[in-house]
Amino acid sequence: MKVSLREWALSDAPALAKLINNKKVQDNLRDGLPFPYGEADAKVFISEMLASDPDQNIAFAIEAEGELIGSISASRCGNIHYRTAELGYYLGEPYWGKGYATEAVCQLCDYVFQRTDILRIFAEPFAYNKASCRVLEKSGFQLEGVLRSNAVKNGRILDMKLYSRIREN
């Protein structure tokens, strides 16, 4: 296994800041992250992850090659959706194209379905984000539809795709 998921540590802040202080990464995520993104921002994020309820926010650092390479989480939704969770992930650019994200998504899904009562994990990549759509397809997610004109990012109106993976047993 090339990839491992582990708890965040405050000492990850410098490496995390390097991974995410990159427009090419941030352009594929929702808005709200600072840019430039520095170590202080990373410390805030990591502190939030460490303080969050692990049954509500299942968040891990992704490690490979002996280094921090990215971030992954499944966030439980509320109200009648309380047994669904939204998946999010990113890797630093030097680590793209090596199969790491697919391994991380598969490991997170196994963890969520084994350790929580969540029934459904979903993700909403931008439709143009072929690499992310492929990661989901390789990780056993099904395409449920295209969410037309569902976001405005960097001034562009974008479609998103809705993928989900359902608990099997």
Q: Does 96 bind ligand COA (CB under 6 A)?
A: yes
- Name, in order, each residue with C-beta under 8 angstroms of 133's C-beta and a sequence gap of 6 or more: 125, 127, 143, 161, 163
HSE-up of 120 (CA within 13 Å, CB side)? 14
Edge-first strand listing for the sheet containing 4-6: 4-6, 57-64, 67-76, 84-91, 120-123, 156-166, 142-153
Which one-letter DSSP state was computed for residue 107?
A: H
- Going residue by residue from 37 to 76, which x/- string records binding to ligand COA, judged by CB under 6 A? ----------------------------------------
Per CB under 6 A, contacts with ligand COA among 98-137 are 98-102, 123, 125, 129-132, 134-135
Q: Does 16 bind ligand COA (CB under 6 A)?
A: no
Please identify which residue in 25, 42, 59, 109 interacts with ligand COA, judged by CB under 6 A: 25
Interacting residue ranges for ligand COA, rule: CB under 6 A: 25, 28-29, 89-91, 96-102, 123, 125, 129-132, 134-135
